[in-house]
């Protein structure tokens, strides 16, 4: 059934929106439009006091709305104008510390722009296609932020084809906008810091190499060794192979990896780059249990600078979480409002934060004594 709007627009009505006496259904904008004999666009304009509605039509619509006890709310008004004022975030079910910090800043940025945040939690990658199906069928959002989730080209094409802009956060894409950190360069800088402190046997504890950040951080680590002429010894590298939660960036992985490196005896590293602060925390626990002092016996640098890093005295590469969140939200909102002319690909630089775990302060104190 179609109804002709007061301004001549032909608008469809759902077949199941008949008004029945005693029905328990909540009154909607369709009910008001049906009784008033106009389209939902006219009802929306009348309720929102739009000037392009005849005064008599507006008065009739408002009277009927009152009679039906229709209370327009944000969702109803947004559906009428085909906007939800909501942004969907696809995130791993068991989010990492850093992902949680990103979400906090993203929500704050969206709130300032009067957008709601709807989380779509992904418990395993095998369910990603079903998650995309759900997003498209429910259409509760105006755009998508994919946080630390590797959307495939097929998924991206489906979302974009259905008019949903996508921005990837903490991930890379050849198709859509992304805001990430320069993982390769950040890992290279962390390793170079240990090299400047005079270390030759530098170990690496990493997450699963199925994860893009883990692969890039290993590449940066190797690049620093190669450029400095340090030996590249894969026996000093331990990456998670369990393919468990959080891409292996867990305290348990760091703990087990550190025990493995310490079992090398005299061939163990004198310095360590942990590709994630949570890995570093697990490594620290293992070192403490084995009587290995940090930084006296083993210097250490992490990656992320999550909240507890400062309490551990952990030297680490700080990811610009606030800037990543703000940039991602801005670009997505721009996409939702007006399509920019070019794809946006941002890789922000992390910052080296020097604390006690690398032995930097102790190193320079010794250097001053010898000079």
Does residue 70 register a pLDDT over 90?
no
pLDDT of residue 12: 41
Q: What does each C-alpha distance from 184 to 70, 104, 215, 223 come to in angstroms?
A: 56, 25, 8, 9
pLDDT of residue 231: 86
Question: Two tokens at 318?
Answer: 């700080």
pLDDT of residue 191: 97
Q: What is the mean pLDDT of residues 263-274?
A: 95
CATH of the domain at 92: 3.40.50.2300
Among 80, 101, 116, the domain-final residue is 80
Backbone angles phi, psi at 59, to 5 degrees: -60, -40
> Are 289 and 312 within one domain?
yes
Q: Band the pLDDT of 2: cuts 50, 70, 90.
A: very low
| Higher pLDDT pick, 175 / 22 | 175
3-state secondary structure of 345: strand
On the 0-12 / 13-18 / 19+ scale of CB atoms within 10 A, 16 is exposed
Neighbours of 175 (CB within 10 A): 14
Q: 18-27, 147-156, 211-220, 252-261 — which is least confidently predicted?
A: 18-27
> Are 218 and 315 within one domain?
yes
- pTM exceeds 0.75 for this model: no
pLDDT of residue 248: 80
Question: How far does Cα 293 stand from its chain's mean position?
Answer: 35
Give the bridge partners for 220, in sequence order.
none
CATH of the domain at 71: 1.10.260.40
Question: Are 250 and 282 spatial neighbours (Cβ–Cβ below 8 Å)?
Answer: yes
pLDDT of residue 126: 63
Does residue 185 register a pLDDT over 60?
yes
Does residue 92 register a pLDDT over 60?
yes
pLDDT of residue 211: 83
Strands (DSSP E) along the chain, which ranges? 2-4, 10-12, 86-92, 116-122, 143-147, 166-169, 177-181, 202-206, 237-239, 271-274, 299-304, 315-318, 345-348, 351-353
Does residue 266 register a pLDDT over 50?
yes
> Are 203 and 314 within one domain?
yes
pLDDT of residue 201: 95
Backbone angles phi, psi at 315, to 5 degrees: -70, 135
Whose tokens are 């259904």? That residue is 25
Rounded-to-integer distance, Cα 240 and Cα 244, Å: 9
Q: What is the mean pLDDT of residues 196-205?
A: 96
> Are 307 and 229 within one domain?
yes
> Are 245 and 357 within one domain?
yes
Element holding 36 (H helix, E strand):
helix 29-36
> Are 336 and 264 within one domain?
no
- Radius of gyration, CA atoms only, the chain: 28
Among 55, 80, 105, the domain-final residue is 80
> Are 71 and 93 within one domain?
no
Does residue 5 register a pLDDT over 60?
no
Terminal C-alpha separation, the chain: 91
Q: Band the pLDDT of 247: cuts 50, 70, 90.
A: confident
> Are 191 and 296 within one domain?
yes
> Are 366 and 339 within one domain?
no
> Are 23 and 103 within one domain?
no
Question: Two tokens at 357?
Answer: 């775990």
Q: What is the DSSP string of 179-248?
A: EEE-HHHHHHHHHHHHHHTT-SSEEEEE--TTSHHHHHHHHHHHHHHHHHT----GGGEEE--S--GGGG
Rounded-to-integer distance, Cα 212 and Cα 96, Å: 15
**pLDDT, tens only, 314-349:** 999 999 999 999 999 999 998 888 766 678 899 999
> Are 212 and 254 within one domain?
yes
pLDDT of residue 8: 38
Question: Are 89 and 103 spatial neighbours (Cβ–Cβ below 8 Å)?
Answer: yes
Among 33, 61, 80, the domain-final residue is 80
> Are 34 and 173 within one domain?
no
Rounded-to-integer distance, Cα 277 and Cα 249, Å: 8
Rounded-to-integer distance, Cα 225 and Cα 203, Å: 11
Q: What is the mean pLDDT of residues 195-210?
A: 93
Helix and strand numbers (H, E) in the chain are 14, 14
3-state secondary structure of 123: coil
Q: Band the pLDDT of 358: cuts 50, 70, 90.
A: very high
Top mean pLDDT of 25-29, 149-153, 241-245, 260-264 is at 260-264
Q: What is the mean pLDDT of residues 223-238?
A: 94
Largest pairwise CA distance in the chain = 94
Residues spanned by the domain of 251: 183-319+352-370
Rounded-to-integer distance, Cα 199 and Cα 193, Å: 9
Tally of domains within the chain: 3
Does residue 120 register a pLDDT over 70?
yes
């Amino acid at each position: 059934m179609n109804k002709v709007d007061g301004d001549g627009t032909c608008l469809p009505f759902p077949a199941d929106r008949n008004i029945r006496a005693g029905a328990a259904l909540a009154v909607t904008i369709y009910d008001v439009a049906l009784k008033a004999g106009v389209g939902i666009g006219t009802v929306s304009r009348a309720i929102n006091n739009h000037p392009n509605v005849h005064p008599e039509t507006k008065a009739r619509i408002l009277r009927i709305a009152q009679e039906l006890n229709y209370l327009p709310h944000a969702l109803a008004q947004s559906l009428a104008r085909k906007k939800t004022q909501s942004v969907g975030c696809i995130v791993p079910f068991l989010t990492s510390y850093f992902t949680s910090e990103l979400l906090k800043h993203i929500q704050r940025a969206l709130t300032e722009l009067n957008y709601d945040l709807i989380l779509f939690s992904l418990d395993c990658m095998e369910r990603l296609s079903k998650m995309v199906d759900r997003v498209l069928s429910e259409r509760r959002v105006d755009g998508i932020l994919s946080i630390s989730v590797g959307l495939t080209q097929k998924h991206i094409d489906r979302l974009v084809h259905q008019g949903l802009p996508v921005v990837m956060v903490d991930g890379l894409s050849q198709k859509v906008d992304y805001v990430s950190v320069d993982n390769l360069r950040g890992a290279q800088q962390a390793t170079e810091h240990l090299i400047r402190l005079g270390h030759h046997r530098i170990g690496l504890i990493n997450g699963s190499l199925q994860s893009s950040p883990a692969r890039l951080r290993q590449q940066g680590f190797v690049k620093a060794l190669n450029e400095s002429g340090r030996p590249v010894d894969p026996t000093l590298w331990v990456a998670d192979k369990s393919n468990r939660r959080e891409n292996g960036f867990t305290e348990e992985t760091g703990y087990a990896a550190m025990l493995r490196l310490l079992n090398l005896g005299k061939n163990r590293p004198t310095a360590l780059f942990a590709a994630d602060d949570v890995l570093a925390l697990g490594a620290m626990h293992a070192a403490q249990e084995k009587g290995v002092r940090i930084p006296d016996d083993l210097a250490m640098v992490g990656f992320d600078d999550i909240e507890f890093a400062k309490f551990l005295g952990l030297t680490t590469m700080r990811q610009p979480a606030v800037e990543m969140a703000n940039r991602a939200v801005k670009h997505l909102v721009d996409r939702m409002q007006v399509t920019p002319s070019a794809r946006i690909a941002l890789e922000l630089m992390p910052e080296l934060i020097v604390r006690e775990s690398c032995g930097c302060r102790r190193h320079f104190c010794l250097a001053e004594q010898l000079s």
